[in-house]
Amino acid sequence: MNLDLLLDNLSNPALLFFVLGILAVQFKSDLEIPPTSSKFISLYLLFSIGFNGGQELSHSPYSNEILTTVIFSVLLAMLVPVYVFFTVKRKLGVENAGAVAAAYGSVSAVTFVTAIAYLEAQGTPFDGYMVAILAFMEAPAIIVGVLLIRYFNSSSCEHISMPQLLKHSLTNGSVLLITGSLVIGFCSNEQQALGIMPFTTDIFKGFLAIFLLDMGITSGRKLKAFFDHGWFTTIAASAFALVNGTVVALCSQWVTDVPGNRFLLAVLAASASYIAVPAAMKIAVPKANPGIYLPMALAITFPVNITVGLPIYYYLVNL
């Protein structure tokens, strides 16, 4: 792999702000992003990427490639939870294994946003419909995770119907915002989009850096408690990210030949949800321990992806 690519990523300001957040916790600093500001920034990032993706999608003519990519991504979101579940079931138990499976089959919008910033820094184009792929992959993994728990231990799930679970997955705030912004961006013409362009593009990277600082602080606070569970979850969280991302980076050539699209597919496969899945699991499987699956996704998989994962996936799709 090109060492310059890895070093370039490690010197990325957004990544360095993430590291700063972790160091602030280790040094017991009082540095903190107010919760209301953090929520606003996360909403802004989802809005911006959704709106810009909708604009790009409106300029993309329908093709078989789009349909094939959607089918590929949905199947991926359904298959990844199955292998993850059986990998960790013996060590973590059925409930926790199902929650972990749902997290790794689902996706991280923040990782996706970081990946887009990475592509822009490399000058690599991608198609706007990839934002829609992000939305398509959220719900299937959650449903598969709950179904696995119900099959292997039906007493652990709250009595919630599949339509209710599907509704909750699709109306989750992050999913609804990015999907709604995508539709609005698609419906807006270029002149209308230009009116809010300074807000949707010019300040994007600055807000991303501040948000990753907040993510670093949050991750740093969860690391100690997480390591109390031993090294199995740490190794598994790292392996799931790198294996999923690497396999999809190589296999994605069967559905699209655009390197930027292949890279984003790999990133989506490698990421793990720490927003939509915890919200759904709290309702559907309250016995699942968020002290296991949440730090796996946020404190391990997320930093693994944005430090070493992104340059690896980028290198593979450009072979």
- More confident call, 189 vs 164: 189
Q: What is the DSSP letter of 285?
A: -
Distance CA 238, CA 305 (A): 9
pLDDT at 146 over 60: yes
Degrees to nearest 5, angle at CA 175 with 210 and 82? 105
* Range 268-276 average pLDDT: 87
CA 58 to chain centre: 24
3-class secondary-structure state, position 55: helix
- List the alpha helices (DSSP H) in 93-156: 94-105, 109-122, 130-136, 138-152
* Range 67-90 average pLDDT: 94
Distance CA 310, CA 295 (A): 20
- Which CATH number does the domain housing residue 192 bear? 1.20.1530.20
pLDDT at 157 over 70: no
pLDDT at 247 over 90: yes
| Residue 28 CB neighbour total at 10 angstroms | 7
pLDDT at 92 over 60: yes
The answer to whether 210 and 41 have CB atoms below 8 angstroms apart is yes
pLDDT at 156 over 60: no
* Range 192-218 average pLDDT: 81
Please, which pLDDT band fits residue 10 given cuts at 50, 70 and 90?
A: low
Question: Hey, what amino acid is at 12?
Answer: N
CA 313 to chain centre: 15
Q: What is the pLDDT of residue 59?
A: 76
Pick from 199, 197, 177, 184: which is nearest to 51 by CA?
Answer: 184
Q: What is the pLDDT of residue 307?
A: 87
Helix 276-284 to helix 162-170 angle (10° resolution) is: 150
Distance CA 267, CA 232 (A): 23
Burial of 280 (0-12, 13-18, 19+ CB in 10 A): buried
pLDDT, one tens digit per residue, over 20-62 is 988 998 898 999 889 888 888 878 887 887 787 778 777 777 7
pLDDT at 135 over 80: no
Distance CA 265, CA 190 (A): 27
pLDDT at 233 over 60: yes
- Domain interval for residue 177: 3-317
Count of structural domains within the chain: 1
Please, which pLDDT band fits residue 176 given cuts at 50, 70 and 90?
A: confident
Range of lowest pLDDT (118-122, 202-206, 244-248) = 202-206
Distance CA 105, CA 82 (A): 9
